[in-house]
Amino acid sequence: MSLALAPLDVSVEVEANLPCRKFDPDLWFSDSPAELELAKSLCGDCPLRVECLAGAVERAEPWGVWGGEIFERGAVVPRKRPRGRPRKEDLARDAQLRVEAEARLAASGLSESRSSVRLAA
């Protein structure tokens, strides 16, 4: 069975208070790293977060925030970096965030499909 087509939990109403339905949809596809972090935080309590993330992984979403994770070019990235050369401390923080993103994917049960999920280096 496809994860993207898995039946929804019947206890969750389709018209529930989903953050992606309450706020401006452009927030989940912003170019601003700060706005993407805000979108990620809004996904934290969403009842459909796991299904959303599983569907995005399966579809290899090219970009945006899906299930509380940032996708860029079909890969999960710990955070979106602004343009330009990153500072050394940012590179160290990115390494730590990459580990945390892998842990979140594993906790969601998506680590088995590692071939379809890749974390950007």
SS3 sequence, 8-63? CCCCCCCCCCCHHHHCCHHHHHCCCHHHHHHHHHHHCCCCCHHHHHHHHHHHCCCE
Q: For residue 89, say whether it is annotated as part of any ligand binding site.
A: no
Q: What is the pLDDT along the chain (121 residues), one digit of tens a residue?
A: 444 444 555 455 555 678 988 889 899 999 888 899 999 999 988 999 999 999 999 999 999 999 999 998 888 887 776 666 766 777 777 778 778 877 877 877 766 444 445 555 4
Q: For residue 93, say whether it is annotated as part of any ligand binding site.
A: no
Q: For residue 20, say whether it is annotated as part of any ligand binding site.
A: yes
Q: What's the pTM value of the predicted model, to 2 decimals?
A: 0.59
Q: For residue 52, say whether it is annotated as part of any ligand binding site.
A: yes
Cα dihedral sign for 64, 66, 69, 75? negative
